[in-house]
Every structure is written in structure tokens, then in C-alpha cells.
Structure 1
Amino acid sequence: MADTDNASEITDALEKKITELQAELKHITNSLADNGIDLLEDAKDGAGKAVKAVKRQAADAADHAKSEVAAVVETAKENPTITATVITAVALAGFALGLVFASSNDSHRRW
């Protein structure tokens, strides 16, 4: 009978310890969930700020590009002869480069 009392005490002690551990685990789980939500919200805030910064930088870059294009267009309008000469020179240089590359690739002709 002493063995049954001893076994009963051990079982009760183990059940009590299991209950305590379950309560502790529940507390830890809740704490981690709260921290996880905070971390998620912090990440969302950081991502939102980053998106706003990128949008602002893209808008600034677009404005800068627009002003540069306007300056080029204005210069082209003021100097149409020079503009035509530059465009022709660039086209001829591109054609010449195309011929050079085409002649260096004679072994790979497809036609």
C-alpha cells in the first residue's frame, strides 16, 4: 500500500508540474505572438517608408530627366543643322559598326 501512496504522490506531482509547464508555455506563446505582431507591424512601417522614399526618388529622377530632355530639345531647335549632322554621324557610326561585326562573323552566316 505504501507503494500505491508513493506512486499516487508521484503522479500528482507530475500532473501538477505538467499543469504549471502548460501555463508557462501558454504565457510564452502569447508573449511571442504579441512580439511577432509588433515585429510584423514594424516591418510594414519600414517597408512603407522605403516605398515612399523610392517613389520620391523616382519622381525626382523623372523630373531631372524631363528637364534634361527639354534642354536637349531646345538646343536641337536652336541648332537644326548641327542636330541633323550629329544624328547622321551617329547613324553612320552604327552602320559601320554593324558592318564590322557582320564581317567578323562570316562563319556564322544564316543566309
Structure 2
Amino acid sequence: MPVPYRTLFLLDSAEMSLVEIKRLDRPDEPDRGTLYSWLQFDKAAGTLTKLDFVSMDSQPEAEQREFRQGQLRFDLREATYRPADDTSPRTLLVCPTTELPAALAAAIDRYLLTA
């Protein structure tokens, strides 16, 4: 049986997706790191990686997140993800969270069953 979750943010490009989810099966969990996860989906490889959250900043003009793997900045339309390994920044589009691409949804389901 799949683990219930809600998609909070979906950022997408041709190569990858970044998604933040909130687990719905642990409503009394005090550890926010257990409830919320940022995940990176590599479309070519079909792999999903949990990003290690460090900090966040919310401003009226943009949201920022810092992970051990890189930095993310996004507004209502687009995002820039800068990997920590100094590769080129990646531009992603902010997408509706109502329906995830099938490959991404399947990868999240597999991840949650083993997390």
C-alpha cells in the first residue's frame, strides 16, 4: 500500500525534477525532517535522491533553500538550482503540484516504502 503524501513544490526541467513532499501518514511526528522531504529526480537515470536540508529563507520575491548538495532559489515561475559540486546552475520551471509525471510519482512511492 502506498504511503500517502502531498506535493508542496514541483520544479522541473528536461533533465531533472526537484520536489518537496509532506508525508501524511505521521500527523503527530514532531521531527520536521521526517515529515518533509526535498527529492531530486534524475530523469535519464530514473533515480531519486533525498536532499539533505540545511536551511530556508522565505522572502516576498523568492524562496531559498540550502541543502548539502546545493542551493535552490525559486519564485512563482522559475527556479535556479546550483549544485554544491560547482557544475553549471540548472534552470527549472515551477509546475502545478496537482499531478506528478508518472515516472516521478512511481519513484516517490518506492522511496517512501523504504524510507
TM-score of Structure 1 vs Structure 2, range by shorter chain = under 0.3
If asked which structure has higher relative contact order (CA below 8 Å, sep 6+), I would say 2
Structure with higher helix content: 1
Q: State TM-score, norm by structure 1.
A: 0.15
Q: State TM-score, norm by structure 2.
A: 0.15
Structure with higher strand content: 2
Which structure has the larger Rg? 1
